[in-house]
């Protein structure tokens, strides 16, 4: 089955519709690092990462990974680990996953630019949490209650189609 981003505000899976937010500058087939656009296309999903110090392990068929303090996602196009999970150190420019806010209490990486990584084509594209539906830096954001419903429904074969 496929999750479909119907428009800039609606994510659909089977009979469920979820309000969401996307990148500040809309959608693009020509995603570039830092452009604040959500990439268009059909992508597989990664594991569910979650903050076990704040949340109980949710009910899901996805593989789950506890977010640890030193986890980051490299967004430095010149680094050999670009667009990959890394141990956070100040020498590596990356998106910290263990945050003070709750945005990444649950997150699912969208496998965009991951199998044949291209420098500057964008990184750290996730489905993550929002409280106010503010535009993102390129991710798709849902309210916690909606994300918890979605992760009960999907599995490791689910794809996301962003059109």
Chunked into runs of 10 residues, the chain (163 residues) has average pLDDT values of: 93 97 97 98 98 97 97 95 90 92 98 96 98 97 98 98 96
DSSP string covering 22-73: -BTT-EESS--TTS--EEPEEEEB-PEEE-TTTSPPPP-SS-EEE--TTEEE
Whether residue 110 contacts residue 122, with contact meaning beta carbons closer than 8 Å, is answered with no
Q: Which CATH number among 3.30.499.10, 2.40.440.10, 3.30.365.10, 3.30.70.380 corresponds to the domain 2-162?
A: 2.40.440.10
**pLDDT for the residue 28:** 97
Stated pTM of the model:
0.96
Q: Parse the chain into domains and list their residue ranges.
A: 2-162
């Amino acid at each position: 089955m496929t999750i479909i981003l119907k428009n800039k505000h609606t994510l659909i899976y089977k009979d469920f519709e979820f309000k969401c937010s996307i990148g500040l500058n809309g959608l693009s087939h020509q995603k570039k690092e830092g452009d604040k656009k959500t990439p268009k296309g059909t992508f597989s999903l990664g594991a569910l990462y979650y903050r076990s110090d704040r949340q109980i392990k949710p009910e899901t068929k996805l593989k789950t990974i506890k977010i640890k303090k030193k986890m980051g996602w490299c967004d430095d196009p010149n680094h050999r680990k670009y667009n990959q999970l890394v141990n956070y150190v100040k020498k590596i420019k990356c998106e910290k996953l263990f945050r003070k806010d709750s945005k990444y209490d649950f997150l699912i990486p969208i496998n965009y630019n991951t199998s044949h990584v291209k420098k500057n084509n964008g990184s750290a594209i996730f489905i993550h949490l929002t409280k106010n539906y503010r535009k993102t830096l390129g991710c798709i954001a849902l309210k916690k209650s909606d994300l918890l419903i979605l992760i009960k429904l999907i599995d490791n074969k689910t794809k996301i189609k962003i059109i």
